[in-house]
Amino acid sequence: MLEGQEVIVPPGTPHSWWNVGDTEANAIVEFRPAGEIKSFFETTFGLAKDGELGKGFKTMLRYAVICHDFKNDVKVLQRSERVGVFLFWPLGKLFGYSSRYSGKPTAPT
């Protein structure tokens, strides 16, 4: 996209977004309906701020719980990841992982 351009992505359309340039980019993004997307971003950005995210999530269990609990708002595109979410989210819940950021250490006790 170039400055001033607009893109509308219909619900359910597979897509991703990132800045491919070397300079800072700014975007205004709207989610309609918003659903739980605010909680999803609070969780993922909170975990990143706390160093809980590196190259992907530190644990497949946490990733699976987050993806499962936000499945109405965020879709995993890779088939292998969808299978992992399906297989590992119950185990992640069993071990105490939450899909919501609390501002506290997220590893189960």
Look up tokens 């071990």; give the residue: 95
pLDDT at 25: 87
CB atoms within 10 A of CB 36: 18
Residues 70-99 have a mean pLDDT of 90
Predicted confidence band of residue 57 (pLDDT cuts 50, 70, 90): low
Predicted confidence band of residue 4 (pLDDT cuts 50, 70, 90): confident
Model confidence pLDDT, tens digit, residues 22-41: 999 888 889 888 899 999 99
Distances (CA, A) of 28 to 20, 51, 73: 17, 26, 18
pTM score? 0.76
Percent of the chain at pLDDT > 70 equals 90
